[in-house]
Structure 1
Amino acid sequence: MLDLAIRGALIVDGTGGEPYSGDVGIASGRIASVGRAGPAREEIDARGRILTPGFIDIHTHFDGQATWENRLAPSSEHGVTTVVTGNCGVGFAPCRPDDRDALLALMEGVEDVPDVVMAAGLPWTWTSFPEFLDFLDQRQFDVDVAVQIPHSPIRVFVMGQRGVDRAPATPGEIERMAALVEEAIGAGAIGVSTSRFLLHRTKAGKLSPSVDAAEQELLGLAEGLRRAGDGVFQLIAAVDSTAADEYALMRRLVEKSGRPLSFTLVAEQLPNYPGEKDAWRVFRHRLATDQPAGAPIRGQIFPRPIGTLLGLDLSYHPFSLNPSYAPLRDLPLPERVTRMRDPTIRARLLAETPQSDNLPALRMVSLDREHYRLGDPPRYDPTPDEEIGRLAARAGRSKADLLYDCLLEDDGKAILYCPSGNFIGHRLDAAGELLRDSNTIVALGDAGAHYGMICDASYPTFLLTYWVRDAAPGAGLTLPDAVRKLSAIPADAVGLSDRGTIAVGKKADLNIIDLERLRLHGPAVFHDLPAGGRRLRQRADGIAATIVSGEVTYRDGLPTGRLPGRLVRRGRTAAFASCTNGDSRS
C-alpha cells in the first residue's frame, strides 16, 4: 500500500524530456513508482494539471527566519521545496556572544532584516557553525534547508574587531579560516560563501567585512573546501573591478578548491555605480570558453528585472531620508498618510533633499531612478511611457510631486517599482539570453531577507507564466526546459542528487500545478515577524498542491500544517577536530 498516489497528471519530470501522462506513487517519503501507481492511503486526482519536481532555490537568506519560524514563506508558497541559505558571506554562525551585535548590524544593512526582528527572534544557542547546524537539525519546516558557512562571520570569529574593521588577515588567521570551512563541510554545510560587492554595507554605511578581503584569504576558504573534499563556493563579484579580472580570480579559487563555484550574474549593473557596462557579456563569454578542469563555474541568474520596491510601509521611498520625514517614520500608516496629506508637510518634504551618510541608501531614494507603479497583478516589464517622471512631464508637474501622490494611493499601501539589472532598453531580452545559457542557474530569490525592499521569491511562478505560458511563440522557454531550470539544474549545482527529478527512488518533493490558472498577485505587507516586524509576501493562484517528502504541505496556496522539511546535511558527517576551543584570535 502506497502512502500517496497522484493520478492522471501530465508529468514534467525535470530531465528536460517531453511530458507524458501517468501516475506517481509515493512510499516512505520517496517516489516508489512512475507511470502507474497501485492502491494508496491518500490519492490526488491531478487530471488536467502538470506534475513537476519540487523547485530548488540555491540563493536565499533564511539564516534567521529558519531559527524562529517553521514556514519558510514566501519561497514555500511558490513551489520551492528546498532552499540553500548562508549566501553572500552573511549569517549568524560561527559567532561568539561578544560579536553578535556586529553580525546583526551587518545583516540589517546588507539584507534589510530589521535589528528589532532579529533581537526578538534569534535564540543564539550556538557558538560554532556545527552547533548552529545541530540547532537547525532539531527544527521542522515546510521545506528542506541546506546551509553554507558565510565568510564575514568566519572573519569576525577569527579576528574579532579587526575582522569587522577589514584589517588584513595574517597567515595564521587565514589558516584558521580554512580550518573552520573544513569543519563546517564535515558537519554538513553545503558550501562556503563570500561577497566582494560594494553595496553590501551595514545600515551605518560600513562595508561588509568580506568585501575587500585579500585574494590569499579567499584562497584560504577554497583550501578549506579542498581539504574537506566536498562543498561549493558562492560569490558576489566586485563591481569596481573588471569582469575579466573577477573571472580569473574565480578560476583560481576553483583550481585551489577543486569544487564548483557560482556567482551572481546580472545583465547591466546598477545605474550610477562603478563597473563595466557590459560585464555580463564578458562573464558569459568566459563561462562558455574558459571553464576550469574538474569543477564548473556557473552564473546565478534571475528571470525578471533585478529591482527594488518602494512605499510608505516599506524600507525606503523617495522622501524617507528627508529631514521632515523623521518625525513621521514611526507613526501608524493611516496617521502617517493623514499627516502627509497636510499641505504644509507636503510642501516641506518636497522642498527638502535626502540626508544620510550611507551612500547606497541615498541612491535608493534618488529621484534619478526610474519609478513605476507596480500594480496588481504586478507589471515587471513596464514601458518607458509608464515611468513616473515621463507621466509627470506630460502633466506639467515635477516628478517629485507626482511620486508623492503615487505613494499616497491605496491609503498609503501603493508600491513603486524600480527595475535596474536585466532590463536593458526596457526589455527582458537580456534575462532571456541568460535563461537560455547552459552555464547559468536560475536562483536569487533572496527570500528571508530584504523584507521591506524586495519580494523576488515568487520567481518560479513568474518564470512559468511569463516565459512559458504567456510568451509569444519562439520567444520563451519550453515547459520541460523551464521545469528543469527550476529543479534538476539547481539541485545538481549544489550536489543534491537525491532530488530535482521525478524518478523512482528520488525524494518525493513535487508540485501539482494548474498552468492555465497560474497567476501571480502583487506583493502585500504583513506585520507578522518577531516584534511585529514587517515583511512583503506575494501569493499565487494555480499551485494546487506542494509535496515535501511525500507529505502535502500546501493545497491551493494554503498551508496544511504539515512540516516534513528538515535540515539537509551534505555528504559525510565525520567529526573534524573542534575549531571552537579557546580563543583563536591573533
Structure 2
Amino acid sequence: MHDLFDLLIRNADIVDGTGAPRFPGDIGIRGDRIERIGDLAGRSGRTEIDLGGRVAAPGFIDAHTHDDRLMLSGGDMAPKVSQGVTTVVGGNCGISLAPMPRPIPQPVTPPLNLLDDQGGWFRFPTFASYLQALREQPAATNCAMLVGHTTLRVATMENLERPATPDQVARMRALVQEAMEAGAIGVSTGLFYEPAVAAPTEEVIETCRPLKDFDGLYCTHMRDEGDRVIESLEETFRIGREVGVTVVISHHKVIGSRNYGRSEETLAFIRRNMALQPICLDCYPYTAGSTILSWDRAASSARVIVSWSKGLPRFAGRDLADVARELGVSQEEAVRRLTPAGAIYFRMDEADVQRILQFDDTMIGSDGLPHDASPHPRLWGSFPRVLGHYGRSLGLFPLETAVHKMTGLTAAKFGLADRGVLREGAHADLTLFDAATVDEAGTYARPIAPARGIDTVVVNGSIVWREGRASGARPGRVLARQAAGGGR
C-alpha cells in the first residue's frame, strides 16, 4: 500500500523547464518536493487535480521585479501568482527597501518613491532585518533579493549630485558586505536615474567589491539605453570584469526612434562578450516602459500615459496629451503640475522587442510597479503574454522554449537550486495552464486583470492560486544564490 501524495496532478502535458520536448505524465508531490513523475495511475493524493492534457510547467521566475514592499504589504502577491509566477527577484534598478540605517530623507527621493512615497516602509536598518521580516511574514511567492546602489547612496550621502567620497564608498561597501552575509544575491544599480547619474564607474566597482567572495550578481539598469547604449554595455561589462562577477543587463532594450533596429547591434555585442565573461539579460514583452514621470523622458516618447500622480491624482490612467489639453497648458507644464508622478512611455520598436525576446539567453522579467494607481499591464500580464501573444499567436518560439526562458534558464542564471525545473526531488513550484488560451487579460486602459488560462499555481507544495482566486496560503521563502561550483 503506497502512502498518499499530498498533491497528485494527473494527465499533465509536462513542460519541464529545460527546453526539452513536452511529455505526458502525472506528478506526485509530498511536502515541498516533487516525489514522483510518471504514470501514477495506481496512486492517490489528498488533493488531486486532473489536467486533462493541459500543461504542467515549473512555476515562473520573474527575473526583474520591484516587489520589495508588496511581499509585506500585499502578501497574497495576486499580480504575480495570478500569472503563474512563483519566485520574484526584487531590489532591482538600484532600488531596494533596505538597508536604511537612518530615517529616510523627506521627500522620498525618486525613484525610491516607486516603492513607498511616504517613507515609512524604509524602516529596516540592515538588510538582515528586512530579510527577517520576509521570513517572519512570508508572502505567497518565493523571493531572491538584491541590494540597491541608489538606496545605499541615499543612506550614506547628503548630496546625490556628486560622486561619493572615499569614506562614503567605504560605508556603502560595508552595507553591501552586511547584505551579502545576510542573504542578498547581489547588487543592483540604476545609473539611468538622477540619484545615481553622478556615480562614476569607479564608485560602482568599489562599492561592489564584496560581491566576488559571495559569487554575487551585478544587475543593472544601465546608464543609457538610447544613443549611447553600446558605451553603457561596455561600462557594465567592465564593472563585471573588475569586480569578478556575473552581470545581468536588466530589461534590455533600445529606446528612441533614432535607435530602432539597433538591437541587432547590441545583441551581437552581448554575444561576443559572453564568450569572454559571464553575462545575462532579461526583458519584458512590451514596446512601452514605465518609471517616474519627467519631461525629458516624455519629450522623447511617442505616447505617454500617467500611471500615478501625487499632484493631480485624478489623471492616473490618462494620456499626457489629454491631460495637457484638459488643463489648457503645454505638456511640459502638465508634467510639472503632475509631479511627483509615474508614467508609461512608448519608446521602443516592436521588431526590437521580438528580436530581444528570441535571443537564446534572454530571461523574462516583468519590471512591474505594484504601487502605481494605473500600472503598466506588464505587472499582471508579462508571462502569459510571452506564452500567448508571442509564442502561440506570433510563433516566435515553441512553448518549451518560452517556458525555459521564464523557468530553467532564470533559475540557472540566478543560482536558484532545485527551482525552475520539473524533476523528482525538485522544489514543488508549479504553474498549471491551458496552452490554447493562456494570455494576458489586461490592457493599458484596464491594466489590473488576472491572466487568462492560468488554472493553478503551487509554491513549495502549497496551492496559492486556483480557479481565479488566491488561496490565502503564504508558503514563500527567501532564496539564497547557489554558486555554480556548489558554494553559497
TM band (smaller chain): 0.7 to 0.9
1:446 to 2:368 alignment:
yes
Instruction: Provide the residue aligned with 2:294 in structure 1.
Output: none
Q: Provide the C-alpha distance between the structure 2 equivalents of 1:429 and 1:346, rounded to a whole number of angstroms.
A: 30
8 Å CA contact 1:29, 1:550 repeated in 2: yes
CA distance in 2, matches of 1:173, 1:489: 37
Question: Which amino acid is 1:167 matched to?
Answer: R
Q: Does the alignment pair 1:85 with 2:90?
A: yes
Inter-CA distance 96–282: structure 2 relative to 1 (3 Å threshold): same
Aligned partners of 2:306 and 2:315 also within 8 Å: no
1:252 corresponds to which of 214, 238, 247:
238
Report if aligned partners of 2:358, 2:396 keep a CA contact under 8 Å in 1.
Answer: no
* 2:220–2:249 contact (8 Å) kept in structure 1: yes
Q: Aligned residue for 1:462?
A: 385
- Determine whether 1:101 maps to 2:117: no
- Write the distance in 2 (CA, Å) between the matches of 1:418 and 1:214: 27
Change (3 A) 1:261 1:357: farther
CA distance in 2, matches of 1:184, 1:270: 36
Q: Which structure: larger Rg?
A: 1
The correspondence for 1:229, drawn from 214, 231, 247, is: 214
Q: Which amino acid aligns with 1:88?
A: C
Q: Does 1:494 align with 2:420?
A: no
2:283 matched to 1:301?
Answer: yes
Is the alpha carbon distance of 1:61 and 1:451 closer, same or farther for their aligned partners in structure 2, counting shifts above 3 Å?
A: farther
**Distance in 2 between the 1:464 and 1:489 partners?**
15
Give the Cα–Cα distance (whole angstroms) in 2 for the partners of residues 283 and 319 of structure 1: 28
Asked if 1:420 corresponds to 2:343, the answer is: no
In the aligned structure 1, how far is the partner of 2:153 from the partner of 2:52?
Answer: 53
Match of 1:8 in 2: 11
CA root-mean-square deviation: 3.5
Opposite residue 3 of structure 1, the aligned amino acid is D
**Deviation (angstroms), 1:173:** 2.5
Amino acid at match of 1:60: T
User: Partner of 2:486 in structure 1?
Assistant: none
Q: In percent, how many aligned pairs have the same letter?
A: 27
Residue 175, structure 1, aligned to residue 178, structure 2: no
Partner of 2:150: 152
Candidates 425, 430, 441, aligned match of 2:352: 430
Alpha-carbon contact 2:112-2:151 (below 8 Å) kept = no
Q: Deviation at 1:496?
A: 0.6
Q: Partners in 2 of 1:70 and 1:215 — Cα distance? A: 37
Aligned residue for 2:202?
Answer: 216
Residue 350 of structure 1 and its aligned partner are, at CA, apart by: 6.8
Equivalent residues in 2 for 1:377-388, closer than 5 Å: none
Check conservation: 1:174, 1:220, Cα contact below 8 A: yes
Q: Contact 1:267 / 1:278 at 8 angstroms: preserved in 2?
A: no
- The one-letter code of the counterpart of 1:550 is G
Alpha-carbon displacement from aligned partner over 1:105-124 (angstroms, at most 9, x marks no partner): 5322xx3x5625x64xx3x5
Aligned to 1:210, the other structure's residue is in SS state helix
Shift of 1:515: 1.9
Alignment partner of 1:352 is 2:336: no
Summarize the alignment of residues 183-582 of structure 1 with structure 2, pairs less than 5 Å apart. Answer: 183-197=178-192, 200=193, 207=194, 209-226=195-212, 228-239=213-224, 242-270=228-256, 279-291=262-274, 293=276, 295-307=277-289, 329=312, 349=326, 351-356=328-333, 419-421=346-348, 423=349, 428-457=350-379, 458-471=381-394, 475-523=395-443, 536-570=447-481
Cα distance in 2, alignment partners of residues 360 and 487 from structure 1: 42
Deviation at 1:168, TM superposition (A): 1.8
Stretches of structure 1 lacking an aligned partner (at least 5 in a row): 201-206, 310-315, 337-344, 367-416, 527-535, 573-586
- Maintained 8 Å contact 1:152/1:210: yes
Report if the CA contact (8 A) 1:287-1:439 is conserved.
no
Alpha-carbon distance between aligned partners in 2 of 1:49 and 1:566, rounded to the nearest angstrom: 28
Deviation string 1:180-216 (CA, Å, 9 cap, x unpaired) is 212211210011100121xx3xxxxxx2x22230111
CA spacing shift, 1:114–1:130, aligned 2, 3 Å: closer
Counterpart-to-counterpart distance in 2, 1:107 and 1:193? 13
Q: What corresponds to 1:131 in structure 2?
A: 129
1:70 maps to 2:55: no
Q: 2 CA distance for matches of 1:319 and 1:469?
A: 28
Could you tell me which residue of structure 2 aligns to residue 36 of structure 1? 39
Matched, 1:24 2:9: no
TM-score between both structures, scaled by the size of structure 2 = 0.84
CA–CA distance in 2 between the matches of 1:258 and 1:174? Answer: 18
* 1:442 partner amino acid: I
Checking the alignment, whether the CA contact within 8 Å between 1:541 and 1:556 is kept in structure 2 is: no
In 1: Cα distance, 2:337 partner to 2:364 partner: 26
Separation in 2, partners of 1:258, 1:287: 17
* Structure 1 counterpart SS, 2:82: helix
Q: CA deviation at 1:308?
A: 5.7
Work out the CA distance in 1 between the residues paired with 2:367 and 2:272. Answer: 28
Mark the CA change 1:318 to 1:461 in structure 2 (over 3 Å): closer, same or farther: closer
Task: Tell me: CA distance 1:347–1:277, structure 2 relative to 1, closer, same or farther (3 Å).
Answer: closer
| Equivalent position SS for 2:463 | strand
Mean Cα deviation higher: 445-454 or 550-559: 445-454
Shift in CA distance, 297/24, structure 1 to aligned 2, threshold 3 Å: same
Quick one: distance in 2 between partners of 1:347 and 1:511? 43
User: Is the contact made by 1:25 and 1:36 (CA closer than 8 Å) also made in structure 2?
Assistant: no
Following the alignment from structure 2 to structure 1, what is the Cα–Cα distance between the partners of residues 57 and 152? Answer: 38
SS at match of 2:347: strand
Q: 1:151 to 1:356 in 2, by over 3 A?
A: farther
For 1:538-584, what per-residue CA distance to the aligned partner results, in whole angstroms no more than 9, with x for missing partners?
A: 22222111111111111122111211112223459xxxxxxxxxxxx
State whether residues 86 and 142 of structure 2, in contact with CA within 8 Å, keep that contact through their aligned partners in structure 1. Answer: yes
Unaligned runs of 5+ in 2: 292-297, 484-488
Corresponding letter in the other structure for 2:34: I
- Aligned residue pairs, count: 461
> In the aligned structure 2, how far is the partner of 1:347 from the partner of 1:135?
43
1:561–1:67 Cα change, 3 Å: closer
User: Secondary structure at the residue paired with 2:199?
Assistant: coil
Structure 1 distance, partners of 2:170, 2:455, is 50
User: 1:143 and 1:40, CA in 2 relative to 1: closer, same or farther beyond 3 A?
Assistant: same
Matched, 1:58 2:43: no
Partners in 1 of 2:18 and 2:123 — Cα distance? 41
For residues 23 and 200 of structure 2, the distance between their equivalents in structure 1, rounded to whole angstroms, comes to: 52
